[in-house]
Amino acid sequence: MFTVMSEAKRKRVFSGIQPTGNIHIGNYLGAIRHWASSQVGFDNIFCIVDLHAITTSQDPRMLRTRIRQAATLLFAAGIDPRLSAVFVQSHVSAHAELAWILNCLIPMGWMQRMTQFKEKSQKQKERVLVGLFDYPALMAADILLYETDLVPVGEDQKQHLELTRDVAQRFNSTYGLTFKLPEPVIPRKGARIMGLDDPTKKMSKSGSRPGHAVYLLDSPEEIRSKIMGATTDSLREIHFDKGRPALHNLLVIYELFTGLRRAEIEARFKGKGYIDLKRDLAEVIIEGLRPVQQRYRELTMDAAYIDSLLVGGVSKVRPIAEKTLLIVKEKIGLR
Ligand code: AQP
């Protein structure tokens, strides 16, 4: 019998980013920067998950722009197309096909337990779409198509990865060993960047308040103004303290951009105030983003080049996905 498993030297990692809005420093510090630095040790697949993006309403013109912008930013941030595959999810139709097949194996009860859907549907009320409910099945398909070993997930996605493993096990026990079971990779401590306007909410692309996030393509003036306007508390001393979430968030951003140790940062701001920290932090972010922005500008001058990189990415991954889908179809009797 066929199995989609094969021996690979480097572990395969599948990561996705939704083209749902402007990419921010949370996405960069929590994910993209690590993706870029882990390329040599792992066999990475980076997917612009546009089918996931349409589980909430999207303006077609904006969506098109954001898909291209997300891809360009990944390359600008150091994803090397010679080492990693970057592609757009909807360009490989196997994702949607496998998701449908998995839908027919996943009991409703499993999906109804998904806390992310419960939270998002409460906010969206009657506007909530069936696609959002089904999001975990599509995510399972994304991962299982590629014999994925590791999936970097935040706390909010852990339950979806468990569902992916559950459906893979159900398939394997019904039809014989087929899918590799992916393992979660939980990001390092401190990798969750919070909103500048509200440190209790994670920095998010869909956060609508103007001072909520610093975007990767913000100008130096925008970065200064957002950081200077960031929420803080009324205390004075500057040190890492989780009990002071607004300050802690700013210091973590400082730490991640500079690479300095916490004690060094605290020493640097001893006896100083928030204004000094914010001024310094804004410059640190501007400098940290400068090479990414510079490379982004260069890349956008040649749209055909980005297209060719995405075509290259698809041509690396499509054969893997199609092979898996073919095996699945054979196992369940569709071929
Ligand atoms: N605030 C954050 N801090 C650290 N990491 C973050 N990521 C997202 N927000 C933060 C990580 O970025 C990667 C891509 O995220 P995504 O596009 O798949 O979806 P998301 O987690 O839903 O991101 P957003 O920015 O909050 O978008 P919306 O508003 O559309 O939901 C992931 O690895 C994620 O962990």
Average pLDDT, the chain: 93
Topology at the third CATH level for domain 7-186+303-332? Rossmann fold (3.40.50)
Residue 189's pLDDT band, with cuts at 50, 70 and 90, is low
Phi, then psi, of 199 in degrees rounded to 5: -70, 0
DSSP string, 221-284: HHHHHHHHT----S-------TTSHHHHHHHHHHHHHH---HHHHHHHTTT--HHHHHHHHHHH
For residue 188, the model assigns a pLDDT of 65
Q: Tell me, yes or no, if 120 is annotated catalytic.
A: yes
Residue range 289-321, pLDDT digits in tens: 999 999 999 999 998 999 999 999 999 999 999
Residue range 201-245, pLDDT digits in tens: 999 998 778 899 999 999 999 999 999 999 999 988 999 999 999
User: What average pLDDT does range 53-60 have in this prediction?
Assistant: 95
Distance of alpha carbon 250 from its chain centroid, rounded? 21
Residue range 105-134, pLDDT digits in tens: 999 999 999 999 998 888 888 889 999 999
User: What average pLDDT does range 129-157 have in this prediction?
Assistant: 94
31 Cα–ligand 1 center, Å: 8
Is the pLDDT at 198 greater than 80, yes or no?
yes
Q: What share of the chain is helix, strand, coil (3-state, %, to 5)?
A: 55, 10, 35
Q: Identify which of 18, 23, 27 to mutate to test ligand 1's pocket (most ligand atoms within 8 A of the CB).
A: 27
46, 74 contact by CB (below 8 A): yes
SS3 category, 335: coil
Neighbours of 234 (CB within 10 A): 5
Candidates 261, 253, 257, 248; CA nearest to 287 is 257
Q: CA-based angle 193:262:150, to the nearest 5? A: 50
Q: Which atom of ligand 1 is nearest to the CA of 203?
A: 1
pTM equals 0.92
Q: Where are the domains of the chain?
A: 7-186+303-332, 220-297
Whole-angstrom CA distances from 279 to 224, 261, 271 are 7, 19, 15
Q: Which helix (H) or strand (E) holds 25?
A: helix 25-27
Name, in order, each residue with C-beta under 8 angstroms of 261's C-beta and a sequence gap of 6 or more.
none
Is the pLDDT at 1 greater than 60, yes or no?
no
Residue 2's pLDDT band, with cuts at 50, 70 and 90, is very low
User: What average pLDDT does range 72-82 have in this prediction?
Assistant: 97
* Catalytic residue (choose from 9, 118, 120, 278): 120
Phi, then psi, of 144 in degrees rounded to 5: -75, -25
Residue 255's pLDDT band, with cuts at 50, 70 and 90, is very high
What CATH number is given for 220-297 in this structure?
1.10.240.10
d(CA 176, CA 162): 20
Residue 6's pLDDT band, with cuts at 50, 70 and 90, is very low
84, 38 contact by CB (below 8 A): no
330 Cα–ligand 1 center, Å: 36
